[in-house]
Amino acid sequence: MSESAYDYVIVGGGTAGCVLAARLTEDPDCRVCVIEGGPSDVGDENVLRLRNWINLLETEYDYGYTTTEQPRGNSHIVHSRARVLGGCSSHNTLISFLPFPEDLDEWVAKGCAGWDPVTILPYRHRLKNHIVPVGEEDQNPIARDFVTAAAEALGVPVIEDFNRAPFPEGAGFFSLAYDPATNKRSSASVAYLHPVMDRPNLTLKLLTWAYRLEPDPAGRLTRVAVRYEDGSTGTVHAERELLLCAGAVDTPRLLLHSGVGPADELRALGIDVRADLPGVGENLLDHPESVIVWETREPLPPNSAMDSDAGLFVRRDPGRPRPDLMFHFYQVPFTVNTERLGYPAVPHGVCMTPNVPRARSTGRMWLRSADPAVHPALDFRYFTDPEGHDERTLVDGLRMAREVAATAPLRDWLFREVAPGLNLVTDQELSDYGRRAAHTVYHPAGTCRMGAADDPWAVVDPELRLRGLEGVRVVDASVFPTLPSVNPMVTVLLAAERAADLLTGRPGPEPDGSER
């Protein structure tokens, strides 16, 4: 086995890992190694062309984690996790929202000092990604008519730029991290790493799989056991700190295989316990959503950024500042789940996907085996919250979607509702359908949550340091104590920029007065 040493070793060349690699190597004397299980995205048009995102799912670019049986949801969901440089920012739709200030207030209330909106939101000015509303030439006419109909039917404003200021509700085209002229991604790898890949102090170990963390002679957990593309193995040593950026599935998986997690469960698998941290793998969060499908009267115009370019936010509780229901509007018939339920495919159509922004059902992940090659178990426990909040959100969303579809000018495009079909009208019928047709928008989070010293379920402290062991920090969506109400990629970018400052001692950006 070979061993190489660097100042920092980043496990996971994804959204957060790319930010950290770029920021830390700004110091020419700081040696940084990025370990990434997938290939490079440089020059790979399959990855770089944003509109091709759906063709990356369940391919060689995808680890393809499955879910356990979901008694109240869909048990057939594949949770795509990206296997490519840039991580999920090279794999997803790049919908880019700043978190709401109240989302960050919730983190502070859960013991995450230093993660308040006044501290975190100014980091948006440091982001290198090119984030803009969907370009005018990409605005499909049916998506424009969806926005108009949603505003008319539900009495919400049309929003030109969702990132201009916090909003309680509204309809509009999303902001995306992309170049409208070329449809090329402005992913974390494109924005942060591609311009600096020739830095002599940056080493990328691609197609390299990290499967266990090991201690150094001083007992600090700073060594990573890896397997290279040719099957050989080795270790990579961080002389300062090891930074886990492998995401909400693979970061806790790596910790568990390294003996960090719930002690009794680890011992039952024959894994030696290094630190009894019961929160590793707990608090598994997601944004579940269902789907309602219409066949259109004719094929749609071909222009689009990524076929889900517009959306809608609704605030059902007018006493609260944030929306509590979201919709993506798909300009393609997304029928992977409805066909399984017996509904027909259609040659051309559209969908609305009612989404639960702050789901109250939480799950957990755990190891099935001591063999790191065996996928862990993911149990999201969809729609199990005792108050029925998540289920109610879907039912309300399906009803509102029908209101929008019945409103001009969108209604003039639509031929018939394919799924669930107008014969399903009661709350129970819509709930049964909505939960069985539910899907994910690939936002797992929370499995190594951040918290205060007296929180027994916290895995890292507010400076992202692993509790109970020295030498490790976690920087990815697994540290989120609660899931932001919106698509979380930008929140991961902000967290990584903040982490870079925590590591280097650089002061954060000054507040600019627009955090509320």
Give pLDDT tens digits for 120-158.
Answer: 999 999 999 999 999 999 999 999 999 999 999 999 999
Does residue 228 contact residue 208 with C-beta atoms inside 8 Å?
Answer: yes
Query: What SS3 class is residue 145?
Result: helix
Residues recorded for the chain: 516
* Mean pLDDT, range 310-328, rounded to an integer: 95
Q: What is the pLDDT of residue 513?
A: 75
* Structure letter (DSSP) for residue 88: G
Does residue 179 contact residue 51 with C-beta atoms inside 8 Å?
Answer: no
Does residue 65 contact residue 249 with C-beta atoms inside 8 Å?
Answer: yes
Structural domains in the chain, CATH included, are 1-134+184-286+442-516 (3.50.50.60), 139-173+288-355+383-437 (3.30.410.40)
CA gap 187, 337 in Å, rounded: 28
Q: Which residues are catalytic?
A: 443
CA gap 41, 47 in Å, rounded: 6
Tokens of 274: 């290094």
pLDDT (tens digit, 9 = 90+) per residue, 97-121? 999 999 999 999 999 999 999 999 9
pLDDT, averaged across the chain: 97
Does residue 315 contact residue 469 with C-beta atoms inside 8 Å?
Answer: no
Helical H segments across 189-306, by residue range: 247-257, 263-268
36-to-10, 33, 237, 250, 300 alpha-carbon distances in Å: 9, 10, 15, 12, 39
* Mean pLDDT, range 449-477, rounded to an integer: 97
Residue 516's pLDDT band, with cuts at 50, 70 and 90, is: low
Residue 1's pLDDT band, with cuts at 50, 70 and 90, is: low
Closest of 455, 90, 464, 5 to residue 251, by C-alpha: 464
Q: What is the pLDDT of residue 267?
A: 98
CA gap 256, 280 in Å, rounded: 7
pLDDT at residue 514 above 70? no
pLDDT at residue 361 above 70? yes
Annotated binding site for FAD: 84
Q: What is the pLDDT of residue 318?
A: 87
pLDDT (tens digit, 9 = 90+) per residue, 163-211? 999 999 999 999 999 999 999 999 999 999 999 999 999 999 999 999 9
**φ and ψ of 330, to 5 deg:** -90, 130
Tokens of 134: 């969907």
**Where does 307-379 show beta strands of DSSP type E?**
310-314, 325-330, 349-355, 364-366, 377-379
pLDDT (tens digit, 9 = 90+) per residue, 64-79? 999 999 999 999 999 9
CA gap 212, 230 in Å, rounded: 18
- Beta strand pairing status for 414-419 and 325-330? unpaired
The pTM of this model reads 0.98
Does residue 382 contact residue 70 with C-beta atoms inside 8 Å?
Answer: yes
* Mean pLDDT, range 49-71, rounded to an integer: 96
Annotated binding site: 84
Higher pLDDT, 516 or 386: 386
Report the share of the chain in percent with pLDDT over 70: 99
142-to-310, 317, 452 alpha-carbon distances in Å: 10, 29, 48
Closest of 286, 277, 424 to residue 342, by C-alpha: 424
Tokens of 221: 């957990």
Q: What is the pLDDT of residue 198?
A: 97
Does residue 61 contact residue 84 with C-beta atoms inside 8 Å?
Answer: yes
The counts of H helices and E strands in the chain are 12, 24
480-to-80, 333, 391, 441 alpha-carbon distances in Å: 19, 32, 23, 17
Residue 2's pLDDT band, with cuts at 50, 70 and 90, is: low
User: Which residues lie below 8 Å from residue 493, measured CB to CB, with a gap of 6+?
Assistant: 15, 16, 19, 127, 129, 188
pLDDT (tens digit, 9 = 90+) per residue, 236-286? 999 999 999 999 999 999 999 999 999 999 999 999 999 999 999 999 999
CA gap 167, 36 in Å, rounded: 37
Helical H segments across 302-443, by residue range: 336-340, 389-405, 427-436
Residue 515's pLDDT band, with cuts at 50, 70 and 90, is: low
